[in-house]
């Protein structure tokens, strides 16, 4: 099997993630003030993909009954995902708060709120398509001033890299969140995030540079010296 590597154009750096999220928030806030509907939806679905590490198809298929946002609950159930598997995904408090605001926004705009209703609807009131979300991702990537040509799967990669760092390099936690069946699939993130190895290589020759230079020992009875 060919080795898999995650090259920089396939994910966003922490700085790019921050800029991307700021752009989403600003566009959504400005749209709410003007009564424009698309940006708040875009922010909700793109933040969910990024904040939960979802595949774009998983986000498209989410229904209201898959969200558990009550007191003490911070969970999304992914049903019939890749290879027909289901899994539970833990989400952070920030994403939980955003989703609760988005649900209130959906009620305000008369969108269906039954458990089997799609969470994310397009402007035509139908479920989002993977292609549609990909196009919206590209729009906000450009607005954020990020020149990478990555696809929307970069958000899932970015989530995995951030989680790997914040969990103290816990590959098992990343594997569980992403729903990988094999740890070898998740291991690609360790290659990218091995900061200790990167720093060690950068400072490989520091010890040799700190060695003292040979010094001359001068004898009183001669002008010549010998190297000590």
Mean pLDDT over each residue of the chain, to the nearest integer: 86
- 46 pLDDT exceeds 80? yes
Between 12-16, 106-110, 126-130, 215-219, the lowest mean confidence (pLDDT) is in 215-219
For residue 52, the model assigns a pLDDT of 96
Chain centre to alpha carbon of residue 70: 24
Active-site choice (79, 82, 87, 138): 82
Active-site choice (101, 138, 143, 153): 153
Annotation marks residue 198 as catalytic = no
- For the entire predicted model, the pTM comes to 0.83
Annotation marks residue 169 as catalytic = no
More confident residue, 182 or 207: 182
- 1 pLDDT exceeds 80? no
For residue 217, the model assigns a pLDDT of 55
Annotation marks residue 153 as catalytic = yes
User: Where exactly are the structural domains of the chain?
Assistant: 8-193
More confident residue, 225 or 140: 140
- 37 pLDDT exceeds 90? no
Q: pLDDT tens, 132-189?
A: 999 999 999 999 999 998 999 999 999 999 999 899 889 999 999 998 888 888 888 8
For residue 214, the model assigns a pLDDT of 58
Between 27-36, 82-91, 212-221, the lowest mean confidence (pLDDT) is in 212-221
Q: Which of 127, 110, 109 is nearest to 63 (CA)?
A: 127
Mean pLDDT, residues 199-225: 62
Architecture, CATH, for domain 8-193? Orthogonal Bundle (1.10)
Q: Which residues pair with 216 in a beta bridge?
A: 227
More confident residue, 84 or 196: 84
Annotation marks residue 189 as catalytic = yes
For residue 104, the model assigns a pLDDT of 95
Active-site choice (41, 55, 96, 136): 55
Annotation marks residue 180 as catalytic = yes
Annotation marks residue 157 as catalytic = no
For residue 7, the model assigns a pLDDT of 85
């Amino acid at each position: 099997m060919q080795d898999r590597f995650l090259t920089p154009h396939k994910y966003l750096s922490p700085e790019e993630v921050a800029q991307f999220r700021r752009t989403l928030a600003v566009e959504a806030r400005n749209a709410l003030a003007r009564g424009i509907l698309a940006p708040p939806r875009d922010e909700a679905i793109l933040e969910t993909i990024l904040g939960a590490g979802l595949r774009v198809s998983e986000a498209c298929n989410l229904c209201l009954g898959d969200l558990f946002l009550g007191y003490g609950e911070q969970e999304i159930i992914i049903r019939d995902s890749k290879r027909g598997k289901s899994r539970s995904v833990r989400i952070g408090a920030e994403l939980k708060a955003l989703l609760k605001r988005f649900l209130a926004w959906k009620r305000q705009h008369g969108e269906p709120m039954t458990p089997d209703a799609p969470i994310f609807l397009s402007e035509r009131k139908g479920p989002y398509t993977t292609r549609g979300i990909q196009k919206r991702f590209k729009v906000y990537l450009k607005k954020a001033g990020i020149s990478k040509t990555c696809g929307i799967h970069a958000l899932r990669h970015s989530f995995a890299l951030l989680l790997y760092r914040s969990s103290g390099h816990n590959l098992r936690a990343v594997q569980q969140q992403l729903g990988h069946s094999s740890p070898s699939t998740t291991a690609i993130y360790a290659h990218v995030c091995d900061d200790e190895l990167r720093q060690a290589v950068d400072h490989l020759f520091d010890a040799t540079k700190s060695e003292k230079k040979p010094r001359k020992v001068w004898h009183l009875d001669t002008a010549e010296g010998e190297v000590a």
